Amino acid sequence: AQSVTQLGSHVSVSEGALVLLRCNYSSSVPPYLFWYVQYPNQGLQLLLKYTTGATLVKGINGFEAEFKKSETSFHLTKPSAHMSDAAEYFCAVSAYNQGGKLIFGQGTELSVKP
Amino acid sequence: DTGVSQNPRHKITKRGQNVTFRCDPISEHNRLYWYRQTLGQGPEFLTYFQNEAQLEKSRLLSDRFSAERPKGSFSTLEIQRTEQGDSAMYLCASSLDRARYQETQYFGPGTRLLVL
């Protein structure tokens, strides 16, 4: 069975500050890991994903995440927050033998203060 | 725009009525997924198709729910005898499975259902 825990349902940062959104996963097989962003009343947009290879993954809009197997973590970071980053962020896990279905965390709402 | 589309975007219905949602995936994508998202929660997997075959259904998908994907193109999700607990955002996603590794799922805008 797979699961995802996102630490902190709400995170608030100032514009220009570091963004750190935490994600820990549980998986009995090698995981594939994803971060999605959701703006109000919209679907989900992929920010980045880890499948195999390099553990530091770069995504769109300046976001990146590092897969740390020993810590079962996949935290999302961005060096400098922008007002347009305010949204809901979801971490998800899947596995090669699970038909591609995504198991999502509960989400973290990011607020950016001017 | 050739992204995933869903119709209707919003649906209000009375308890006990039947509703049907449609999802049109990206044209060359062979996999199609349905998820349900309630307020303040992450999406939960409901079911998925590989071409026209429905390969997995979640325990969340009670016998009041049925999904089809005729001819492996668009998909419909029907809810019979709706209950207030069915109120949620229903999300559709599609991907191109190349049987190598996890391909990206592209999500539609969702259908928001409110059962009165």
Q: What is the pLDDT of residue A90?
A: 97
pLDDT surpasses 70 at A55: yes
The answer to whether the Cβ–Cβ distance between B44 and A43 falls below 8 Å is no
Q: What is the pLDDT of residue B88?
A: 96
When the pLDDT of each residue in chain A is averaged and rounded to a whole number, the result is 93
Q: What is the pLDDT of residue B100?
A: 61
The answer to whether the Cβ–Cβ distance between B107 and A107 falls below 8 Å is no
pLDDT surpasses 80 at A97: no
Percent of chain A's residues with pLDDT above 90:
79
Query: What pLDDT band is residue A53 in, cutting at 50, 70 and 90?
Result: confident
The answer to whether the Cβ–Cβ distance between A101 and B56 falls below 8 Å is yes
Mean of pLDDT values over A41-45: 87
Are B60 and B44 in contact by the 8 Å Cβ rule? The answer is yes
Query: What pLDDT band is residue A75 in, cutting at 50, 70 and 90?
Result: very high
A 39-68: CB under 8 A from B: 41-46, 49, 51-52
Question: How many of the other CB atoms lie within 10 Å of CB of B81?
Answer: 10
**What DSSP letter does each residue of chain A carry, written as one string?**
--EEEEE-SEEEEETTS-EEEEEEEE-SS-EEEEEEEE-TTS-EEEEEEE-SS-SEEE-GGG-EEEEETTTTEEEEEESS--GGG-EEEEEEEEETTTTT--EE---EEEEEE-
pLDDT, greater one: A4 or A100: A4
Q: What is the pLDDT of residue B61?
A: 85
Counting as low any pLDDT under 70, the low residues of chain B are 1, 99-102
